Amino acid sequence: MKLKNVHYGWVIVFVSALIMMVFAILISSRGIFLTALTEWFNWDRGVISGAYSVSFIVSGLLALFSGRLADKFGPRIMVTLLGLLVGSGLILMSMVSSIVHVYLIWILLIGVGSSCGITPLLSTIPKWFNKRRALVIGITFAGFSVGGITWPPVIERLVANVGWQSAYMIAGLITLVIITALAQLMRKNPQKMGLQPYGEREQVKSTPRVLDLAATGITLTQALKTTSYWLIALCRFSFMFVFQLIAVHIFPHAVDIGLSQIIAATIISITAISNTISKLLVGFVADRIGYRLTLFLAAVVLVKSLTMSKQTISQPILVYLCQ
C-alpha cells in the first residue's frame, strides 16, 4: 500500500505509540534510579519515592488543564512541552546534590511535563477514528509497554557501567530529542487536514444523535455531572495508586531479597511483555464485547492478583507479573 493511501489517523496512532514508548523511560526506570540514589547519597528510600508521589499528584491535577489546552491549541504544542520539560528534568537529575533538588525537579519539571502528554494524546486519537477506537488506544498504550520492555535492562546497564549521573543524562537527551521531534507530526483533528475520521462511512447507520456526540464530544461541565465520569475517575485512581506503588518499589525489593540488579530489571521487562500483549488483546476484545464487560473482566484479574492468599517474600514480584 502506498503511503499516500494510508489514513493519517494511523500516523497519529503510530507516532503516539512511539511517544509513549519513549515516555516509558521515565516510569520504568524510577526504581533503578531509586536504588542508585539511595546507595550514593544514603538517603531514605521513602523520602526519594515521596518526590515521585508528589510529582504524579501534580501531574494528575494539571491533566485537567492540559486536556483543555490540547482542545484549544492542539496536541503538538502540549506534547512538545512534555518532551522539553521531562527531558530537561531528567538531565538536571544527573546534577542533583540535595533532596530539595530532587523534589523541585520532579514537581516543577517532570510533574508539570508529564501532565502535557498522556491526556492530550488520548483526547486526540478518538477524533481521528469513528471505528476501532478501542484498538487504536490499545496500540498507543502498547507503545508504553514496549518501552517498559526495553528501558529497564538498558538503564540498569548504563547505571552499572557509566554511573547514574550519565544514565540520567542519556535518558534525558533521548526523551527531549525524540519526543519533541515526534510531537511535530501530531495534528489536532482530521478536519484541519481536509479529512474525515477513519471509519466515517461505516458509521452512517448510526443515529444522528450518536454521530453528533462522537464528532463533538461533551464539555467538562457536562462530564462532571455524570456518574460514569466519576466511576471511571475512581477506577483510574485506584489502579494507578496500586500500580505506582508496586512499580516504583519492585526493583529495590527484588535487590533486597538477593536478586541481582539485572535480574530485577528483567522482571520489569517480562511484566511489560505480557502487558503489551494484553493491551492489544483488550483493545481488540473491547471493540467486540463492549468496554464495560472488558473493564470488569480486567478488574477481576487485577484484584485476584492483589489478593493472592499465599504470603511469601516473592509475592510482590508475582503480583506485579500478574498485572
Cell numbers that stand for 88 in this block: 530537561
CB 5 within 8 A of CB 193: no
Residue 299 has pLDDT above 50, yes or no: yes
Does domain 7-322 fall under CATH 3.90.480.20? My reply is: no
Cell numbers that stand for 308 in this block: 493472592
- What distance in Å separates the CA atoms of residue 62 and residue 297, rounded to the nearest whole number? 30
Rounded to an integer, the average pLDDT of 255-280 is: 75
CB 12 within 8 A of CB 124: yes
**Burial per residue of 135-162, b for 16 or more beta-carbon CB atoms within 10 angstroms, e otherwise:** bbbbbbbbbbbbbbbbbbbbbbebbeee
Band (pLDDT 50/70/90 cuts) for residue 80 is: very high
Range ranked top by mean pLDDT from 166-170, 221-225, 250-254, 304-308 = 166-170
Residue 1 has pLDDT above 60, yes or no: no
- What distance in Å separates the CA atoms of residue 89 and residue 110, rounded to the nearest whole number? 6
Band (pLDDT 50/70/90 cuts) for residue 3 is: low
Q: What is the pLDDT of residue 226?
A: 87
For 129, the 3-state DSSP assignment is strand
Report pTM: 0.74
* Contacts (Cβ under 8 Å, ≥6 apart) of 196: 190
- What distance in Å separates the CA atoms of residue 218 and residue 236, rounded to the nearest whole number? 20
Share of the chain above pLDDT 90, in %: 28
For 43, the 3-state DSSP assignment is coil
